[in-house]
Amino acid sequence: MQLTAMRFTDKGVRPSAADAGIGEYLVITSVVVSYQVKPEAMAEHVRLIEGVFEQLHAEGPVNVEYKVVRLADGVSFVHISSAETPDGSNPLPELSAFKAFGRDSGDRVATPPMPTAADIIGAYHPAGGLRPVDS
């Protein structure tokens, strides 16, 4: 999965919080990627996705939002990524864990990834983030 080649700029452009009033702007870019994974590759695929989130939590970048969901069929995945950078790039593909996730992804997927540009209409993020509900 190579998101480095996918640079979608949406209509969201806003001043940098640090430089508001000076004229520096951040470009908000968003992409949604969907695909299916081969059942026999599921455990490895999920492990690699979890590695991306471990690195994100450890490094705590403030300019990236990332979510991955597995659909009810058990093999379909949807990744939603947004970033706010001066040049519209997304720093996610530069993470070592994301590079590991993308390496050999062709061997794990049953359908090719379908990236689609997206415009964010709204978002809500609880202060502490979502927590799993105990069963």
DSSP string, 53-118: HHHHHHH--SSEEEEEEE-TTSSEEEEEEEEEETTS--SGGGSHHHHHHHTTHHHHBSS--EEEE-
**9-117 has which CATH code?**
3.30.70.100
First to last CA, the chain: 33
Q: Give Cβ neighbours of residue 22 (< 8 Å, ≥ 6 apart).
A: none
Using CA atoms, how far apart are residues 3 and 33, in angstroms rounded to an integer? 9
pTM here is 0.76
For residues 78 and 33, is the Cβ–Cβ distance under 8 A? yes
133: DSSP letter: P
Q: Domain map of the chain by residue range? A: 9-117
- Average pLDDT, whole number, for the chain? 82
Determine the distance from the C-alpha atom of residue 100 to the mean position of all C-alpha atoms in its chain, rounded to a whole number.
Answer: 14
pLDDT tens-digit map of 57-95: 999 998 899 999 999 999 999 999 999 988 888 899 999
For residues 37 and 109, is the Cβ–Cβ distance under 8 A? yes
pLDDT tens-digit map of 112-124: 999 998 988 888 8
